[in-house]
């Protein structure tokens, strides 16, 4: 038997065949491929999305996605998954954002990707939609999550507190559209272990950044924290009312825009 002359080329060819036909393998991907090769296939699929090489992604690739998850999966950006889902023949570009089953995918993450560390939820085609109860519950099951970024979806303050309570490993959080609920209508993460807080409010949606790392080079902070940086874009006195609920603030930036 002759030796394989170019094993690297053979491996690359094999992976290309799998990726180009990933929708045909179904659960065989999970039973026939070890976690590391499955992760390589998943990364290549997502790379094609980010490189705009979307023509070379199988129409039903979204069906294979759950079987590609493993303990090797550390990062997920849901925007790419929305695109994979949108390639269904019966889902138009206008509808696939609203029909994308985010809750179902979050459940897959919790069950199949136990070591997921970084999650970006970018529900760009469902602007101003409120994260549902099932989605919040699924997020709370991601026990090893360390970084969470949510954009284009509204998150209630009380439910973000719930996520923080259950995902004790979270080090870095950013929510671009935070909605205050409850009677007091205040933001309170003072006792949750975060050393850096940035809250933006005023004419735009309230956004919040929470971080347990004070060593980032763009920050010039004195003392061990916690540090509360409030950034306001007020158009009227009413836009400053949030200040009354933030007694722990250590820094305030007010940006005034002239209409003249």
**Count of H helices and E strands in the chain?**
9, 10
Name every residue whose Cβ is closer than 8 Å to that of residue 145 and which is 6 or more positions away in sequence.
Answer: 116, 117, 118, 119, 139, 167, 169, 170
SS3 208: strand
Task: Tell me the mean pLDDT in the region 126-140.
Answer: 81
Q: Cα–Cα distance between 76 and 95 in angstroms, integer?
A: 22
At 258 the pLDDT is 59
Could you count the other beta carbons within 10 Å of the beta carbon of residue 235? 11
Q: Cα–Cα distance between 234 and 55 in angstroms, integer?
A: 45
pLDDT tens-digit series, residues 77-101: 988 787 777 655 444 444 444 567 8
Element (H, E) at 147: strand 147-151
pLDDT tens-digit series, residues 31-83: 888 899 889 888 887 777 666 555 556 566 777 888 889 999 999 998 878 77
Could you count the other beta carbons within 10 Å of the beta carbon of residue 148? 24
Task: Tell me the mean pLDDT in the region 247-253.
Answer: 88
Residue where the block lists tokens 């306001």: 232
Residue pair 119/144 in contact by the 8 Å Cβ criterion:
no
Task: Tell me the mean pLDDT in the region 120-128.
Answer: 71
At 161 the pLDDT is 93
At 25 the pLDDT is 77
Cα 179 vs. chain centroid, distance in angstroms?
18
Mean pLDDT for the chain overall: 81
Domain residues of the chain, as ranges? 1-70, 74-178, 180-260
At 243 the pLDDT is 86
At 5 the pLDDT is 53
At 8 the pLDDT is 66
SS3 206: strand
Q: Count of residues for the chain? A: 260
Q: Cα–Cα distance between 84 and 97 in angstroms, integer?
A: 11
15 against 231, higher pLDDT: 231
pLDDT tens-digit series, residues 150-201: 998 899 999 999 999 999 999 999 999 999 887 777 888 888 899 999 999 8
SS3 58: coil
């Amino acid at each position: 038997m002759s030796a394989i002359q170019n094993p690297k080329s053979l491996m690359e060819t094999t992976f290309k065949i799998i990726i180009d036909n990933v929708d045909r393998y179904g659960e065989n991907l999970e039973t026939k491929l070890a976690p590391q090769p499955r992760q390589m296939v998943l990364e290549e699929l997502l790379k094609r999305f980010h490189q705009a090489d979307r023509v070379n992604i199988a129409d039903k690739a979204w069906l294979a996605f759950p079987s590609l998850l493993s303990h090797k999966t550390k990062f997920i950006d849901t925007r790419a998954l929305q695109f994979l889902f949108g390639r269904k023949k019966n889902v138009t570009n206008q509808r696939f954002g609203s029909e994308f089953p985010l809750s179902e995918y979050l459940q897959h993450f919790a069950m199949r990707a136990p070591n997921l560390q970084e999650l970006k939820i970018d529900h760009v085609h469902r602007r101003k939609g409120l994260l549902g109860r099932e989605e919040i519950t699924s997020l709370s099951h991601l026990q090893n999550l360390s970084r969470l970024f949510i954009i284009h979806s509204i998150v209630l303050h009380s439910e973000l507190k719930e996520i923080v309570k259950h995902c004790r490993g979270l080090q870095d959080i950013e929510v671009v559209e935070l909605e205050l609920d409850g009677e007091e209508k205040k933001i309170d993460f003072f006792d949750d272990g975060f050393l850096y807080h940035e809250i933006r409010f005023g004419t735009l949606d309230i956004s919040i950044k929470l971080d347990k790392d004070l060593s980032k080079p763009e920050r010039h902070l004195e003392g061990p924290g916690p540090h509360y940086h409030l950034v306001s874009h007020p158009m009227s006195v009413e836009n400053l009312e949030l200040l009354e609920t933030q007694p722990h603030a250590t820094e305030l930036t007010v940006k005034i825009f002239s209409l003249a």
